[in-house]
Amino acid sequence: MRHHPVYLWTLPMFHCNGWCFPWTVAAMAGTNVCLRRVEAGAIFDAIADRGVTHFCGAPIVLGMILNASADERRSFDRTVEVMTAAAPPPAAVIEGMEKSGFHMTHVYGLTETYGPSVICAWKSEWNALPIEQQAVRKSRQGVRYHALEGLEVMDPESMTPVPRDGQTMGEVMFRGNVVMKGYLKNPATTEASLAGGWFHSGDLGVVHPDGYVQLKDRSKDIIISGGENISSIEVEDALYRHPAVLEAAVVARSDEKWGETPCAFVTLKGEAEAMTAEDIIAFCRENMAHFKAPKTVVFGPLPKTSTGKIQKFKLRERAEQLD
């Protein structure tokens, strides 16, 4: 962020202190542009009419922008800088934003480690890759910020780092002055979360040979089907590549034979009402290993928090109630 930015508040200021931008914009002598409601039309209007140069948003906000109607869209004469976090962004969403005139920066952290703590620092050699492969690189969480002392993906039992092979999963752990001291009046959870001198994030990920971390799932969201681990994030990424899918979330559903199977909750775009569950499943099977494809697809709106995060615990409850 250079001097005199024009910053659009699509991100709530109460969400991790607005990702630290309330005072960053002040320090850079910038202008704050606020919205009464986060809507695609209002965002495009602010960019076109107010000269917005920067904004932050969770992937759900990016999806809103990408799926704006023709009436909501406005043209603009600059590249807008966008920072995304709060949930692992699908590569298809990053690709769509880059093609639409937005330059994406992907960061990662938790309320307990903000912030943020990790950034997908861009490498100049990646500029030569096709945009689809660039989006895959940019969807990784990346490397630690200079303010974070330690970032590792470790086996939570042995507390040893996993191999940098992009395959072996472990728990993402943080250490340093940006990590919380503990949970208020909750010593038991504090002790468990900071065991071994590291903050245990509950996020499962891998480390690529270049040292970049990539999240695969929350430990509570990983789907174990027939003894195989299935990343809900990987299935969601495939779903977001379907042209009819507006929003998607995948959770585990109990299964007598396999233990658990992926259950996809999907919101379709308005013009795609004729899409069937079989169509969605077939698309996934064409784009990933068959055993990872959803066995169940449920259409409808997704429950979200006030910051736009999809409430998977509610979806898990709904999945268990399905006939």
In which region does residue 17 sit, left (phi positive, over 0), alpha (psi from -120 to 50) or beta (all else)?
left
Fold of 6-108: Rossmann fold (3.40.50)
Q: Which two tokens stand for residue 3?
A: 């001097």
Q: What is the CATH number of domain 223-321?
A: 3.30.300.30
Q: Is the pLDDT of residue 305 over 90?
A: no
> How is domain 150-218 classified at the architecture level of CATH?
Roll (2.30)
Looking at residue 13, what is its pLDDT? 86
Query: How wide is the angle at C-alpha 197 spanned by C-alphas 195 and 198, nearest 5°?
Result: 80
Residue-wise pLDDT for 250-298, tens only, equals 999 999 899 999 999 999 998 777 889 999 999 999 999 999 999 999 9
Looking at residue 173, what is its pLDDT? 98
Strand partners, 205: 170, 215
Looking at residue 165, what is its pLDDT? 97
> What whole-number distance in Å separates Cα of residue 248 and Cα of residue 93?
12
Looking at residue 276, what is its pLDDT? 93
Looking at residue 271, what is its pLDDT? 75
State whether the Cα torsion 147-192-309-95 is positive or negative: positive
Looking at residue 40, what is its pLDDT? 95
Can you give the residue ranges of every domain in the chain? 6-108, 150-218, 223-321
The answer to whether the CB of 292 falls within 8 A of the CB of 234 is yes
> What whole-number distance in Å separates Cα of residue 257 and Cα of residue 198?
38
